Amino acid sequence: MKSVNGIKFQKLDFDQFRTEYLAIVANLRMATNFAELRSAIDAVNEKRNLWESMLSIAEINHFSDLSNEDFKAGVEFYESHESEIQALVKAYYSALVDSKFQNEIANEYGPQLLEIAFNECKLYNANIKDLQAEELKLANDFANIFYQIKYQIADQSFSADSIQSQFNSENRAKRKEAVAAQSKQLEELENSIASILIKITKLRNKIARACGFENFIEYSFQKMGRYNYGISDIENHRNGILKSLVPHTIEIRKRQAKRMNIPNLKFHDYPCIVPSKNLNFEFDSPNTIKKISKMFEELSPQTGDLFQKMKSSGLIEYKIEKNRMPGNFAFYVPQKKTPFLHTNFNGSKEDFHLLCHEFGHAFSYKQSNTEIPEYVYPFVEGAETQSIAMEFFCWNWIENFFGSNSQAYKYWHLSFELLYLPQLSLIDEFEQFLYVNEPQSIADIKDYWKGLELKYVPFSEYEEAPFFSEGGRYLTFANWFIDYPFWSICYSLAQISAFQFWEIFKTDQKKGWNKYLKFCKTGGRKSVLDSLKDCGILSPLAPQNIDSVLKNICKEQKSLEF
């Protein structure tokens, strides 16, 4: 396997790792003074960071070539010990919870570490080990199907990433062909994928109940660090999106139809928010890379320095190649505090905002500057706030990349984000339905999805994609349901928070940047809501805050209309 920032991959001896780890935890429990306990905590963190570093390097290599059996075996080795690692981490948390030095721990490491330890102890017991292994197997079965889907158009085969160029084509017939190919292929795979979804839903509820929760929804809230808000708060957020934004998205689509000079938009028209001509972004151009370097240098000394180091050290991979994992991911290798970006750039306008987004993750990893795994980044909604805000901070340099088409790019970017928000609420409400009802049939799943589409994206009209018309488009989000359950609404919360950072940045760049930097440096040391409050950012859960934020953003979006 290739090294990452000079860090070589090791297949650690798990039995030896476990023996050494548990000996450290025993020392933590037997500590007679805080100095001994602090030494044990630091040693635990060192062991955990070593394990996580090797896992990340294995994943980075595997993502670069899914067909390489050695790379796959490296990931499978570390994944095979996932439940045992969770047990080891739980043993550490249990020792913290039982410690007589809790005041000292809170003073030295911050109270959030104990908060996490107390709550994580509720998520594990010895009876769920086999269930979690079964869950991992189902997730792997799904991955072997979903992430290697090929879409056939005439005599050409497309991956999930490469087909994006067809979805975004200027040629309406090509877009229609692409959507039809996606719909047809997913229909053929529906039984295989849906059966996994139904099984994993029941299994996760079983895991949750074994830990004393009503269902996997409550379990997920605990697991995702939502300690100071609940399901009703998320429902309020979704209602805020529904009331304050969905009517505006209908207007966005109407104006798009007018621009395209067609009476009714169809699903294959949706990506063409603006004409894509001259909105290309060639990352692999020396001139473009030079402009990106200049942008991050001018944004701040910290961003400029990080981009240069990542570029020179080969920590950004961006070319779409055969057998490469689709999508864009920001990895973190704890050793040497190393971020790594796995991206799939295809020369489209989307590449620019994806670069800025993933770089936002990389930047926040570095700024947290900690050896404590829990504090590298905040929970998901906080981490996504950091990356989405970075997208919009980079607007000040748009003209360097898109020239006279900069307004078109800005209009597309802001419209895209506004149109995406209701979709996130749709996914979240759909997942809530899954775990409350445990649907037995595919028909029930599709019927519910179709009803939610009418609620959150009422303009949806499909053509040449009958499977999607019947509610089958839920399968395009199957990776959310299987790999990232209940993450979708985190992006919605993050968007509302990121918009607020951006509003401050637009008015006073120095003030906005310093607030953002403070948020990144805090990392996971506080709850997301508390960290936002410290930076003067209103809670994204309250409908009145959602309404006030979106009024400003919708006004900005309208001002860019052309």
The string of DSSP letters for 435-446 reads HHH---SHHHHH
State yes or no: pLDDT of 313 exceeds 70.
Answer: yes
pLDDT tens figures, 177-226: 999 999 999 999 999 999 999 999 999 999 999 999 999 999 999 999 99
C-alpha 334/C-alpha 50 separation (Å) is 7
Stretch among 202-206, 272-276, 501-505 having the lowest mean pLDDT: 272-276
Tokens of 83: 């439940």
pTM here is 0.93
Q: How far apart are the first and last CA of the chain?
A: 50
Q: CA dist 280 to 212, 283, 338, 401, Å?
A: 52, 10, 30, 9
C-alpha 280/C-alpha 346 separation (Å) is 9
C-alpha 498/C-alpha 80 separation (Å) is 37
pLDDT at residue 348, rounded to an integer = 82
State yes or no: pLDDT of 277 exceeds 70.
Answer: no
Stretch among 55-64, 337-346, 526-535 having the lowest mean pLDDT: 337-346
C-alpha 153/C-alpha 177 separation (Å) is 7
The answer to whether the beta carbons of residues 86 and 124 sit under 8 Å apart is: yes
pLDDT at residue 161, rounded to an integer = 79
Closest among 61, 45, 55 to 82, alpha carbons compared: 55
pLDDT at residue 505, rounded to an integer = 98
pLDDT tens figures, 38-51: 999 999 999 999 99
Average pLDDT over residues 289-303: 96
The 8-class DSSP code of residue 327 comes to: S
State yes or no: pLDDT of 555 exceeds 90.
Answer: yes
The answer to whether the beta carbons of residues 182 and 170 sit under 8 Å apart is: no
State yes or no: pLDDT of 473 exceeds 70.
Answer: yes
The band of 319, judged by pLDDT with boundaries at 50, 70 and 90, is confident
Give the side-chain half-sphere CA count within 13 A for 24: 22
pLDDT at residue 350, rounded to an integer = 86
pLDDT at residue 170, rounded to an integer = 86
State yes or no: pLDDT of 521 exceeds 80.
Answer: yes
pLDDT at residue 276, rounded to an integer = 65
The band of 483, judged by pLDDT with boundaries at 50, 70 and 90, is very high
Q: Please state, rounded to an integer, the average pLDDT across all residues of the chain.
A: 94
Closest among 392, 386, 359 to 505, alpha carbons compared: 392
Closest among 255, 285, 423, 259 to 352, alpha carbons compared: 285
Q: CA dist 129 to 83, 87, 125, 224, 531, Å?
A: 6, 9, 8, 19, 34
The band of 27, judged by pLDDT with boundaries at 50, 70 and 90, is very high
pLDDT at residue 285, rounded to an integer = 81
At 137, phi and psi to the nearest 5? -65, -45
State yes or no: pLDDT of 480 exceeds 90.
Answer: yes
State yes or no: pLDDT of 458 exceeds 80.
Answer: yes
